[in-house]
């Protein structure tokens, strides 16, 4: 049976999450304490067991060139218990999430496939338009950098997002406070965080997750200083490389990033928008 989640499903949802992704319970609790609420997941229940689920999150509004907006939901963390995989359950849960997004009044539902090879799969499920982003892998070089790095604590994440407004084009996505708070806390819990970089000729902002020997820079603004700023971050953290995500401008390669399904006729024009902060 497919249904929205309800009070009392939390234990089953956490068990599914742990089985599917292998995350620690502390990490799982962070999501549930910050973003989850009853009704925000679509589940497939079999004999009292939650066999599959996907989370439908309020991601704020995407701006249109004419000044209008599209209220946006984000389909996140599709998971199916191993014993139930290969039966098309995940596909049906995803399609149900699109339908439920419309029922909740959202204009747009976005999903970020784990790999580009999965785009055709999600297109068959009802997603129609591709959203792109700029990004590249940057490795530590011997070039000198002179950059001051100041951490903006995640408990004061509002400072970061007030500052970032000065770097964004008019057709960028805005987010809800709960969504932004979770992103800030998830960066912090990885050993990274939110940072402001300053040098003689530029200032920049970035949101950083820290891996074992790599950084995942979820956002770097402005894109024009991503290269030199990332070199400073690599030295700061003592790691050898980073994957950087930012606006799609040269010399950063634009690549397919997410897919969108729409409730009505209003759509984001091809190549527009900036939707950097997904919970991947």
pLDDT higher than 60, residue 132: yes
CATH superfamily of 134-246: Gcn5-related N-acetyltransferase (GNAT) (3.40.630.30)
pLDDT higher than 70, residue 192: yes
Give the burial class of 251: count Cβ atoms within 10 A of its Cβ; 0-12 exposed, 13-18 middle, 19 or more buried.
Answer: exposed
Domain ranges of the chain: 2-132+256-262, 134-246
Question: What pLDDT does 18 receive?
Answer: 97
Rounded average pLDDT over 105-109:
94
Q: Model confidence at 156, in pLDDT bands (50, 70, 90)?
A: low
Question: What pLDDT does 123 receive?
Answer: 94
| Residues 6+ positions from 145 with CB-CB distance below 8 Å | 199, 228, 231, 232, 235
Contact 6, 43 (CB under 8 A): no
Strand partners, 42: 4, 54
**Range ranked top by mean pLDDT from 40-49, 55-64, 190-199, 242-251:** 40-49
| Residues 6+ positions from 62 with CB-CB distance below 8 Å | 69, 70, 72, 108, 171, 173, 268, 273, 275
Among 115-119, 167-171, 201-205, where is mean pLDDT lowest? Answer: 167-171
pLDDT (tens digit per residue) in 57-81: 998 888 787 888 889 999 999 999 9
Q: Model confidence at 162, in pLDDT bands (50, 70, 90)?
A: confident
CATH of 2-132+256-262, one of 3.40.640.10, 3.40.630.30, 3.50.4.10, 3.40.50.1970: 3.40.630.30
Same topology, domains 2-132+256-262 and 134-246? Answer is yes
pLDDT higher than 60, residue 250: no
């Amino acid at each position: 049976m497919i249904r929205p989640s309800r009070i009392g499903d939390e234990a089953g949802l956490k068990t599914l999450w742990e089985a599917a992704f292998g995350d620690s319970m502390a990490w799982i609790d962070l999501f549930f304490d910050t973003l989850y609420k009853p009704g925000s997941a679509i589940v497939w229940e079999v004999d009292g067991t939650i066999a599959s689920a996907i989370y439908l999150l309020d991601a704020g509004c995407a701006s249109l060139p004419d000044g209008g907006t599209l209220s946006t939901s984000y389909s996140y963390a599709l998971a199916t218990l191993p014993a139930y995989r290969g039966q098309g359950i995940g596909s049906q849960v995803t399609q149900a999430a699109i339908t439920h997004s419309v029922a909740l009044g959202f204009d747009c539902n976005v999903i970020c496939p784990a790999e580009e090879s999965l785009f055709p799969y999600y297109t068959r499920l009802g997603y129609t338009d591709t959203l792109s982003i700029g990004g590249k892998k940057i490795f530590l070089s011997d070039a000198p950098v002179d950059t001051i790095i100041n951490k903006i604590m995640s408990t004061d994440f509002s400072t970061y997002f007030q500052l970032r407004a000065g770097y964004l084009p008019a057709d960028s996505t805005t987010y809800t406070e709960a969504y932004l708070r979770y992103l800030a806390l998830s960066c912090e819990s990885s050993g990274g965080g939110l940072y402001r970089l300053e040098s003689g000729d530029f200032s920049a902002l970035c949101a950083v997750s820290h891996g074992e020997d790599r950084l995942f820079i979820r956002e770097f603004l402005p894109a024009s200083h991503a290269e030199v700023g990332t070199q400073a971050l690599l030295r700061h953290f003592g790691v050898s490389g980073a994957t950087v995500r930012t606006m799609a401008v040269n010399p950063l390669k634009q690549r397919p990033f997410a897919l969108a399904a729409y409730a009505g006729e209003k759509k984001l024009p091809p190549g527009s928008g900036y939707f950097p902060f997904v919970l991947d």
